Amino acid sequence: MTAGVPEARRVALDVLRRIEDDGAYANLALRPALDRSGLSDPDRHFVTDLVYGTTRMRRACDALVDRFVTAPPDPRTRRLLRLGAYQLVFGGVAPHAAVSETVGLAPKRVRGFVNAVLRKVAATEMVWPSDAARLSYPDWIVDTLVTELGEIDAHDALERMNVPPVVTTRDDGYVQDASSQWVAAAVEPTGGERILDACAAPGGKATALAHGGADVVATDIRAGRVGLVVDNAARVGVGLSAVVADAAAPPFAPASFDAVLIDAPCSGLGALRRRADARWRIEPADVERLAVVQRRIIDASGALVRPGGRLVYSVCTLTAAESIDHPVPDGFEVDDREPLVGTWRRFAHGWRVLPHDADTDGMVLIRYRRRS
């Protein structure tokens, strides 16, 4: 154990407080806290694992602890118990260190209590009250995925999304999940084509398309995020035009693009391993709201595809409501050829990647061709 470890747990506990009490986004709260901390790289990794792991496994940690508490602990004590339970059961920390170092962060009045509960957590085999508690997701996410994928694939996907993502780096240095690279490849860009990436920020797919020599226009509704596209294009050395625009009311002439990619805003249920706190934020109503937005974008941006051109729709979620339930847009037919690159499973008239198939994010892809 290095000298920074007690401090590491203190930093982690403070970031967890910001996430749980202030509603801060995990990644946005963590980064400045690490920068201020002066911790070594290994300790920063430890803090990152504690914060993301405790956040992902929040429900499971509570279930582990709740066997041994009779009244709900106050939020601060609850946080300490979660942090301790995470280290003991999921974090691979030696039991003695997990208990004593966590107790060391507790205010005097609850030290004995935290110590007693964590020792029991360490010593007592768990019988999980439900799969949702074991996997540490809200019931509705587990129920939805079990209904749509079947129990085995749903549980495998949910388990995989409890593991931090693999870092994949393109030849140009851009860090991008493999499944996103497969979506860009499925646009099948060729040199000289005019291609619109309608929901482009931060520019992962737009820059991949531009590498192929296409004339890429990248739009996003959020001006600040369009800035990220510009920065990322400059960093990887590709030219593209970046424009602030609403893909539901795009400022381009009808039929003016050879291909349009809609990498739509979505619930992200296939990419939950990327955002530790996302599962506790998303609600079923968000899926319904996003499905409406997606349909508007498909209708408006689809009209920009020239006759014979391609419309490619993708979302980093797994369910029908945000993908295959959308009607085939007027004037288009489905192009259901299997994409050349990637681990895709057929999903009605589209294709789906499950997170555990190739250790990537989960995605759905649907390709259409505009009739001449």
Ligand X SMILES: C[S@@+](CC[C@H](N)C(=O)[O-])C[C@H]1O[C@@H](n2cnc3c(N)ncnc32)[C@H](O)[C@@H]1O
User: Contact region for ligand X (CB under 6 A) — 89-97, 147-155, 241-249, 323-331?
Assistant: 241-249
Q: How many CB atoms are located within 10 Å of the residue 253 CB? A: 9
For the chain, report the end-to-end CA distance as a whole number of angstroms.
67
3-class SS at 195? strand
User: Contact region for ligand X (CB under 6 A) — 54-62, 100-108, 161-169, 240-248?
Assistant: 240-248
- Residue 331 backbone zone (phi > 0: left; psi -120 to 50: alpha; other: beta): left
User: Contact region for ligand X (CB under 6 A) — 82-90, 106-114, 122-130, 213-221?
Assistant: 213-221
- 302 binds ligand X, rule: CB under 6 A: no
Q: Closest separation between CB of residue 98 and ligand X, Å?
A: 37
- 235 binds ligand X, rule: CB under 6 A: no
- 299 binds ligand X, rule: CB under 6 A: no
Rounded to an integer, what is the distance from CA 353 to the centroid of its chain? Answer: 14
Please identify, using beta-carbon distances, which residue of 222 and 289 lies nearer to ligand X.
Answer: 222
> Is 316 part of the annotated catalytic residue set?
yes
Rounded to an integer, what is the distance from CA 91 to the centroid of its chain? Answer: 21
- 263 binds ligand X, rule: CB under 6 A: yes
Q: Which of 111, 194, 225, 274 binds ligand X (CB under 6 A)?
A: 225
Element housing 299 (H / E): helix 284-302
Q: Which of 84, 203, 342, 355 binds ligand X (CB under 6 A)?
A: 203
- 247 binds ligand X, rule: CB under 6 A: yes
Number of residues that bind ligand X (CB under 6 A): 20
Please identify, using beta-carbon distances, which residue of 149 and 271 lies nearer to ligand X.
Answer: 271
Three-state secondary structure of 77-130: HHHHHHHHHHHHHHCCCCHHHHHHHHHCCCCHHHHHHHHHHHHHHHHCCCCCCC
Please identify, using beta-carbon distances, which residue of 136 and 267 lies nearer to ligand X.
Answer: 267
- 202 binds ligand X, rule: CB under 6 A: yes
Active site residues: 316
- Site residues (CB under 6 A) for ligand X? 180, 198-205, 219-222, 225, 246-248, 263, 265, 297
